[in-house]
């Protein structure tokens, strides 16, 4: 499972790095933003308001966003742990942190609950500013670590600001696993309701589970797997790290429509 | 855990669907009419233009061809870097229009070639 996922993650990461390098060499005008589904949401927004696309948005962004909605309905937030290069980089950095600290460092539950809602505030802010100040433009790009990191820190006119955001997120991910995805990413906020419905989800078989709790510790999103019958949590990305470490064969199984 | 393959399969399929369907519902990025009354005969030419990557640049492009007598309208699609120009064939031609948009934009003494037609 992990090998398959790592291959898929590496392919997407390599693709986005290739676009970055080709852009730096002047071989393409595409950037990582050309393939960002979040721009699709903003594009739908500007279609609604201006009856056309503003900025560099186009039909591909909308199509990728619609595909993302479908993917999330089917497979929960698998986009985050299988596709998104920023998720991949954070995951790998988080695992390095786990090696150093011996476990995932997590904020206290009460703090975590509050922080989990921050991404909705970010989403409302981004959409509000896009409607007003940015007038349909992708103003969020300047603050978006995905765009900043995968354009080689060119996302903002001010280099130190790009470095501050980009490096800041990467360093934070060492101490708090998946910090951007979990607490701040507006695309993650958009996916949350669909993810809750996600048809492909893990089911725990209480007859085989020994309540050892190893799965809980392995989850980068701090989801309580060992006490759930089914993992319906909106934050579950179907990374399957929990199932990977489970010592009891068959205790955690993926189910589609409950089967 | 064979069902795990559903995830990469769904990712691949949905990306393919996204790329395959984008051409089906094109929305122009910019549409401009340069004349109040359209001439009796109108021809049209389609360019693929390096640098035509957003709505702002589409406006810059419009500014560069607006001075060519006989240019009637412009429609751009930035996803494919496409510019479709309608013109009065009695007054201008595709080569003259191309020369206009490839011309240098002067920024305080600097020459800045923004657009280049892909051949
Ligand atoms: S519950 Fe399991 S599959 Fe879901 S995010 Fe946590 S480790 Fe990944
Ligand atoms: S790791 Fe497996 S056996 Fe242990 S609590 Fe989780 S599901 Fe049960």
Q: The tokens 């969020």 sit on which residue?
A: A140
Cα(A32)–Cα(A147) distance, integer angstroms: 6
Query: What region does A128 belong to: left with phi over 0, alpha with psi -120 to 50, or beta?
Result: alpha
- For residues A163 and A247, state if they share a domain: no
B11 interface with A at CB cutoff 8 Å: yes
Among A177, A194, A211, the domain boundary falls at A194
- For residues A8 and A125, state if they share a domain: yes
Interface contact flag, A253 B1, Cβ < 8 Å: yes
- Using CA positions, which residue lies closest to atom 6 of ligand 1? A219
Alpha helices in A83-238 (DSSP H): 85-101, 109-116, 118-131, 145-149, 159-175, 179, 186-197, 214-218
- For residues A121 and A166, state if they share a domain: yes
Does some domain include residue B74?
A: yes
Does some domain include residue B7?
A: no
Which residue stretches of chain A have pLDDT < 50?
none
- Using CA positions, which residue lies closest to atom 2 of ligand 2? A246
- For residues A118 and A31, state if they share a domain: yes
What b/e sequence results for A67-98 when a residue is b if at least 16 CB atoms lie within 10 Å of its CB, and e otherwise?
bbbbbbbbbbbbbbbbbbbbbbbbbebbbebb
In this prediction the pTM is 0.86
B102 interface with A at CB cutoff 8 Å: no
- For residues A95 and A49, state if they share a domain: yes
Closest atom of ligand 1 to CA, residue A241 = 7
CATH code for the domain of B44: 3.30.70.100
- For residues A186 and A240, state if they share a domain: no
A72 lines ligand 1 (CB under 6 A): no
Percent of chain B with pLDDT over 70: 91
> pLDDT tens digits, residue range A195-207?
999 999 999 999 9
Angle at B56 between CA B53 and CA B57, to 5 degrees: 50
User: ipTM of this model?
Assistant: 0.90
Interface contact flag, A63 B79, Cβ < 8 Å: no
Domain that holds residue A111: 2-194
**Chain A positions in Cβ-Cβ contact with residue B28 (cut-off 8 Å):** 52
- For residues A28 and A110, state if they share a domain: yes
What are A252's two structure tokens? 């955690």
Q: Is the pLDDT of residue B108 over 70?
A: no
Residues with CB under 6 A from ligand 2: A 204, 209-215, 225-226, 246, 248, 251-252
* Domains in chain B, number: 1
- For residues A126 and A210, state if they share a domain: no
pLDDT at B103: 75
Interface contact flag, B51 A29, Cβ < 8 Å: yes
- For residues A92 and A56, state if they share a domain: yes
């Amino acid at each position: 499972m992990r090998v398959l996922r790592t291959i898929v993650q590496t392919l997407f990461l390599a693709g986005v790095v290739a676009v970055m390098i080709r852009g730096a060499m002047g071989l393409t005008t595409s950037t990582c933003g050309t393939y960002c589904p979040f721009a699709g949401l903003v594009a739908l927004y500007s279609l609604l308001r201006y009856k056309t696309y503003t900025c560099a948005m186009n039909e591909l962004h909308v199509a990728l966003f619609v595909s993302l909605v479908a993917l999330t309905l089917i497979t929960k937030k698998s986009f985050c742990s299988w596709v998104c290069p920023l998720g991949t980089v954070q995951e790998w950095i988080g695992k390095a942190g786990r090696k150093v600290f011996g476990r995932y460092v997590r904020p206290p539950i009460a703090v975590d609950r509050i922080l989990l809602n921050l991404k909705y505030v970010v989403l409302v802010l981004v959409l509000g500013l896009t409607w007003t100040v940015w007038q349909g433009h992708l103003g969020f790009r300047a603050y978006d670590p995905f765009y900043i990191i995968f354009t080689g820190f060119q996302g903002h006119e001010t280099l130190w600001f790009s470095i501050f955001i980009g490096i800041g997120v990467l360093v934070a991910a060492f101490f708090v696993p998946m910090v951007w995805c979990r607490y701040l990413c507006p695309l993650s906020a958009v996916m949350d309701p669909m993810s809750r419905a996600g048809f492909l989800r893990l089911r725990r078989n209480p007859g085989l589970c020994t309540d050892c709790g190893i799965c809980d510790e392995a989850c980068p999103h701090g989801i309580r797997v060992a006490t759930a019958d089914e993992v319906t949590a909106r934050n579950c990305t179907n990374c399957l790290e929990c199932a990977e470490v489970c010592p009891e064969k068959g205790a955690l199984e993926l189910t589609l429509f409950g089967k | 855990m064979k069902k795990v393959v559903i995830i990469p399969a769904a990712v691949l399929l949905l990306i393919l669907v996204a790329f395959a369907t984008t051409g089906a519902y094109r929305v122009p990025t910019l549409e401009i009419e340069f004349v109040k009354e359209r001439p009796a005969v109108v021809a049209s030419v389609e360019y693929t233009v390096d640098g035509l990557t957003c709505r702002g640049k589409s406006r810059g492009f419009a500014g560069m061809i607006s001075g060519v007598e006989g240019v009637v309208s412009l429609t751009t699609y930035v996803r494919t870097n496409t510019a479709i120009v309608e013109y009065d064939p009695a007054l201008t031609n595709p080569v003259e229009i191309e020369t206009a948009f490839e011309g240098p934009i002067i920024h305080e003494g600097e020459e800045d070639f923004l657009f280049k037609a892909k051949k």
